[in-house]
Structure 1
Amino acid sequence: MTLTPQRRLLILVVGVLLLAGLGTWSVLSAADRAAEENAPRAGGPAYTSGKVRLDEPGRRVFRSTAAGPRRDRLVSVPATAPENATRTASPVACLRFHAATGTGVCLQSTRTLGRPSYRALVLDAELRTRRAYALAGVPSRARVSPSGHLAAWTVFVKGESYSSSFFSTRTSILDTRTWRLVPSLEEFAITLDGRAYHNADVNFWGVTFAADDDTFYATLSTRDQTYLVRGSLTARTVTTLAENVECPSLSPDETRVAYKKRVLGKTALWREHVLDLRTSKSTALAERRSVDDQAVWLDDRTVAYALPATEDDDRAGGENVWTVPADGTGTPRVLLEDAAAPPR
């Protein structure tokens, strides 16, 4: 069929109209998706897209646990009155996260050749990736030193919970100034009860750092017992300090450690405690529910931790951040709903 100039013009006009319609549909669909992502779930937090920085004064950055497209994203809210504030959401998603002084560590899930895999990202203040490291197992704990110069992470190499009889952990420490990596704390020399100690069943988890960028505290597990250890990166040693201590968190003044203590009872597996490093006195906190988290200190008087939402909560399946006084007084209160514990 011969195309006359009129037919060619008609085909061109129809093509332009189709392309214009397709473009309009794409723009409207994208707008609808953005509106759906930013719209608050019934009873849940509201979101807006924007820039999230780790060093922005007056704001807290944490991992959102709200169901939906923002789950596990890093978000920020004002540090004062954060409860009902609209959350600024970043595109970065983490299974575990911690940050200090503009440095963040994000433990992520990815897929390699169709299989799940995991990696640790070292982030700068603008959430840009500085370095990435493959992880040997499922992310468990993450910490950054107060200076931002050191990062630590723990993964489960076997099993997925502390209750498993077959779990094994691997804890690594990274110097973000030199990128020197300690692949496993099991390389360090152990002093247990004043004597050199070696055992194939040794596991470490839950590192927390002092301000000198050398001293750290962690949990050591061996022969069905857990210990608080103090370690030195330069000396490559750890020394036991106390028994039945898990997931320690050093206070800002470095005089106390918040930790979870395994207890026997019908209502709790772990109770949150604070150990005074000067006197070795341990104080049970007012939170009586089982806390399976590495707490953070909001200041020298207040400890924060995450608890699963209950079946009576319309956010069941997520987590809420609670706070409690560090001296054993007071009562727990909710700081943030649909959230994992924020960095101090």
Structure 2
Amino acid sequence: MRTRARLGIAAGAAAVLATVAAGYAASTRENAVVPAYTGEVDLRPGPRLLTVTDRHLAAVELDDPDGPRSVSPVECLRAYAAAGTGVCLRPTDPWSNELVVLDADLKPKRAFAIPGQPNRARVSPTGRMVAWTTFVGGDSYATGGFSTRTGILDTRTGDKVMSLEDFAITKGGKGGKGGKAYRNVDVNYWGVTFARDDNTFYATLGTAGKRYLVRGDWRAREVTTLKENVECPSLSPDGTRIAFKEAVGGDPARGWRLSVLDLASMRVTATAETAGVDDQAAWLDDRTLAYTLRQDDGRPDIHQVPADGNGAPRLLVRGAESPSALD
């Protein structure tokens, strides 16, 4: 990316890198605060919300989010779970990280190193497919010294792509039709979300200073652009809508508005949340979104808002981030 959009990503990457490094150092200090491990945490389907609390996997009851919180000893910076499968992005030292696939009892099923600092994580509705996004440094085309790296793993076959940047791109056209093949050295991807068929996925493609929603075909190794100014998509449980962060006025430097795209009509509806949501929202159900907002001191809280543009946002879980509904 050669414009302000890339500078926004670079600034965000720098902040993430600083936060992760500082967090790792804090966790290793002798006087670091370690959460009490209370109750049991598992990933079996149920009316609970999985979160990251003080860098540990935790869970609360959806009908009592202010009630008792179960906190596990499993450390993660980013996490997500579905259908009894979890993905955990965590540090192995201040500048190295790994991805761990967890079973329903939080036992590791497989793990491998990932480059850069964790940013996004997703699991498909069936629990089969896993995706991750990190901020990385050193790409020569990144003016700010940072870019994103996004990969996908098929947990059933072991098929793994460490970067989507080699996927064929069809760009332009309308509604995903009539486009032309596209290649550019500055291509970046972030924020994958999966459809239930374990083949179709959506993500953000950044190139030439613009950001596009793409629909991907895992088996064909190709993506097609659908709409501009869509970042960090999250597919609704019924597969009809995409929640995303929309750059205000098309300019990430002005912040983002949490919005919802209807895939049939391509109509965008802004939610009632007017705070800048720099997160990949999660669907609690077909009507409600959950997302992280940070306080002035950086502490995260999970909020919720109706997806149809009505109602009002409200605080859901204090001191937590990376939400995913286990139900």
Q: Deviations over 1:143-182 (max 9, x none)?
A: 00000000000111128xxx98442111110000111101
Aligned position for 2:308? 327
Aligned position for 1:317? 298
Maintained 8 Å contact 2:47/2:61? yes
Aligned position for 1:230? 215
Q: Deviations over 1:176-220 (max 9, x none)?
A: 011110111111100000000000000000000000000000000
**Deviation of residue 73 (structure 1)?**
0.7
Aligned positions of 1:114-129 closer than 5 A:
116-129=95-108
Aligned position for 1:53? 42
Amino acid at match of 2:265: T
Aligned positions of 1:28-107 closer than 5 A:
47-55=36-44, 57-64=46-53, 71-83=54-66, 85-107=67-89
Aligned position for 2:283? 297
Amino acid at match of 2:52: R
Q: What's the secondary structure of 2:321's corresponding residue?
A: coil
**Deviation of residue 56 (structure 1)?**
5.3
**Deviation of residue 116 (structure 1)?**
2.5
| Structure-1 separation of matches of 2:81 and 2:261 | 24
Aligned position for 1:285? 271
| Structure 1 position 135 matched with structure 2 position 124 | no
| Structure 1 position 275 matched with structure 2 position 261 | yes
| Structure 1 position 184 matched with structure 2 position 163 | yes
Amino acid at match of 2:68: T
| Structure-2 separation of matches of 1:248 and 1:165 | 24
| Structure-1 separation of matches of 2:150 and 2:324 | 19
| Structure-1 separation of matches of 2:195 and 2:306 | 21
Amino acid at match of 2:316: L
Relative distance call for 1:164 and 1:248 in structure 2 (3 A) is farther
Aligned positions of 1:179-258 closer than 5 A:
179-193=158-172, 194-258=179-243
Amino acid at match of 1:55: R
Q: TM-score, normalised by structure 2?
A: 0.83
Q: What's the secondary structure of 1:186's corresponding residue?
A: helix
| Structure-2 separation of matches of 1:233 and 1:56 | 26
| Structure-2 separation of matches of 1:237 and 1:267 | 30
| Structure-2 separation of matches of 1:189 and 1:144 | 23
Amino acid at match of 2:89: L
**Deviation of residue 341 (structure 1)?**
3.7
Maintained 8 Å contact 1:259/1:295? yes
Maintained 8 Å contact 1:118/1:138? yes
**Deviation of residue 77 (structure 1)?**
1.6
Relative distance call for 1:91 and 1:153 in structure 2 (3 A) is same
| Structure-1 separation of matches of 2:84 and 2:318 | 24
What 5-or-longer segments of structure 2 have no aligned partner? 1-29, 173-178
CA RMSD of aligned residues (A): 2.1
| Structure-1 separation of matches of 2:73 and 2:308 | 38
**Deviation of residue 299 (structure 1)?**
0.7
Maintained 8 Å contact 1:96/1:107? yes
Q: What's the secondary structure of 2:290's corresponding residue?
A: strand
Q: What's the secondary structure of 1:343's corresponding residue?
A: strand
**Deviation of residue 330 (structure 1)?**
1.1
Maintained 8 Å contact 1:121/1:130? yes
Task: Number of aligned residue pairs: give it.
Answer: 284
Q: What's the secondary structure of 2:323's corresponding residue?
A: coil
Q: Deviations over 1:41-78 (max 9, x none)?
A: xxxxxx553321010523222111xxxxxx11111122
| Structure-2 separation of matches of 1:77 and 1:330 | 23
* Amino-acid identity (%): 53
Maintained 8 Å contact 2:203/2:214? yes
Answer 1 or 2: higher relative contact order, Cα 8 Å, separation at least 6. 2
Aligned position for 2:324? 343
Q: What's the secondary structure of 1:286's corresponding residue?
A: coil
Higher Cα Rg: structure 1 or 2?
A: 1
